[in-house]
């Protein structure tokens, strides 16, 4: 009769963004992670 909160959230998330939008978000997150960790690595190499 009633959907659980988890099921409702899944349905809302699927309808809110398309596959290509989710792919772009993941690519941006991956690029930001590489930049952040690359910057930390570079900073440690320069200081140390």
Write the pLDDT tens digit of every residue in 11-48: 877 777 788 988 999 999 999 999 999 999 999 999 97
SS (HEC) of 1-48: CCCCHHHHHHHHHHHHCCHHHHHHHHHHHHHHHHHHHHHHHHHHHHHC
- Compute CA distances 15 → 10, 21, 36, whole Å: 9, 11, 31
pTM of the model: 0.61
Whether the predicted pLDDT of 4 surpasses 70: yes
Instruction: Centre a 10 Å sphere on the Cβ of residue 22 and count the other Cβ atoms it contains.
Output: 13
């Amino acid at each position: 009769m009633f959907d659980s909160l988890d099921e409702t959230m899944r349905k809302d998330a699927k309808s809110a963004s398309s596959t290509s939008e989710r792919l772009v978000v993941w690519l941006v997150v991956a690029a930001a992670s590489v930049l952040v960790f690359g910057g930390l690595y570079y900073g440690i190499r320069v200081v140390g």
